[in-house]
Amino acid sequence: MTITMTGTRTYTIPELNNLLDSLDGVSFKADNKAETYDWIEDQLYRYKYDRLGKTYKGVVRAFLRKYTSYSDSQLTRLITKWRKTHHVKLGSYTRHRFALTYTRDDILLLAKVDTAHNLLAGPATKHILEREYGVFGHSEFVRLKNISVAHLYNLRHTFTYRDHAQVFAHTQAVKNTLGERRKPEPDGRPGFIRVDSVHQGDSPDGKKGCYHINFVDEVLQWELVACVETISERHMQPVLRALLSQFPFVVINFHSDNGSEYINGIVADLLNKLYIHQTKSRPRRHNDNGLVETKNGSIIRKAIGYGYISASKAPLIDQWYQDWLNTYLNFHRPCGFATTIRGKLGKEKLVYKTEDYLTPYEKFRSLPEAAQYLREGVTFAELDKVAYAMSDTVYATAMDKARGILSEKLKQAV
């Protein structure tokens, strides 16, 4: 049975006493809290509770307690609220929400950075955000500079971010006595270069596409890329000579797979003249040239794609590499440098810590007595001008615009 709390008559205090005596042994229970609060407020008004004496107040409280089944402590809280505000209303529920650390503008800024850098790994992006604020003084990164890698990925999964953010060919084995079959051992020294080629596919009518030549230093991950029409000696020799001369440090070792574009007499003579030792990958040791092969996918394929591009377009791509990409890779794009941890049983494990993400140039500067590895005529003062002329994201944005112009030129007929 449901009892509705209504009443138009105001009883006298003696009548209330008689009423309570007559209801001895009878109990009531209020189900609708909002209506109960309104009824209590109405009764307190009717009996002018705040003007009653202590005895009469006790009678009114007993009356309220009988009809609501509320405890003394709860009635005391409600009466105290009525005396302060002259209202007894049910409080509205407010869901607890954590304070927002990163605003919508921060998410849009992260999307801009990821778009410019073509979505790097979380630790690498975190390092860029820190450099944008700490090195280049961009105040809009004041909150993002402190973001954790885990929360960076959380922001990348938001709707705001998603709305605004935008196969290797195996080389045939060749038997050749040139080059020494062993894995290079740099021992922490720069100058040990890993080399590989990437073919840009064949056309439907069988025409060969252009080739990308990728040079990566094993210790610093310093990377230089070029594009040639063919991997014949006529095109390869000048490109190899040019790339080897662009490294700011002395090149000690040249390591490649067994492709004929590198294991031949002309390349061997070139390396001998430059006093560079030549090595090549060992059979059934797939990791001997794994670093540069990884860079083929994460750098060249990411920048140029997998589709066929005519060999005649190679000079256009090479010019973009020399004007933009090579500078970006070495001065503005962080790389992960692994820390080796040895377990109890002697097994080694590579761990990529957040603080180990550096640009190749930062890694170079961090080497003990780094100046000893510089080529003759090269100074860190000159390299600093290149490294800090533009911020990472500003440079990446400008490079992306240049890539857009390159894409339009590549679409044009030969």
Tokens of 406: 């390159």
343-398 pLDDT tens trace:
777 788 888 888 889 999 999 999 999 999 999 999 999 999 999 999 999 999 99
Q: Does pLDDT of 341 surpass 90?
A: no
268-300 pLDDT tens trace:
888 888 888 888 887 766 667 778 888 998 999
93-152 pLDDT tens trace:
677 777 788 999 999 999 999 999 988 999 999 999 999 999 999 999 999 999 999 999
Q: Alpha helices, DSSP H only, in 307-359?
A: 314-320, 326-331
Report, in this order, helix, strand and coil percent for the chain, each rounded to 5: 50, 10, 40
DSSP line for 43-67: HHHHTTGGGS-HHHHHHHHHHHHHH
Strands (E), 273-384: 277-280, 335-336, 339-342, 348-351, 357-358
Per-residue pLDDT, 167: 29
Per-residue pLDDT, 5: 53
Q: Alpha helices, DSSP H only, in 177-322?
A: 233-246, 265-273, 290-295, 302-304, 314-320
Per-residue pLDDT, 9: 63
Most confident by average pLDDT, 4-18, 23-37, 133-147, 169-183 = 133-147
Per-residue pLDDT, 169: 38
d(C-alpha 340, C-alpha 348), whole Å: 6
CA distances from 372 to 13, 137, 251, 332, 369 (A): 102, 31, 13, 23, 6
Pairing relationship of beta strands 335-336 and 357-358 according to DSSP bridges: antiparallel
Record: fold of 180-372: Nucleotidyltransferase; domain 5 (3.30.420)
Please give the average per-residue pLDDT across 3-31, as a whole number.
68
Q: What pLDDT band is residue 168 in, cutting at 50, 70 and 90?
A: very low
Q: What pLDDT band is residue 34 in, cutting at 50, 70 and 90?
A: confident
The mean predicted confidence, pLDDT, of the chain is 85
Q: What stretch of H or E contains 254?
A: strand 253-256
User: What are the backbone dihedrals phi and psi of residue 333, each rounded to the nearest 5 degrees, phi first?
Assistant: -110, 110
Per-residue pLDDT, 65: 83
Please give the average per-residue pLDDT across 213-237, as a whole number.
91
User: What are the backbone dihedrals phi and psi of residue 286, each rounded to the nearest 5 degrees, phi first?
Assistant: -70, -20
CATH 3.30.420.10 domain residues, the chain: 180-372
Q: Does pLDDT of 170 surpass 50?
A: no
Q: What is the DSSP letter of 209?
A: B
Per-residue pLDDT, 186: 87
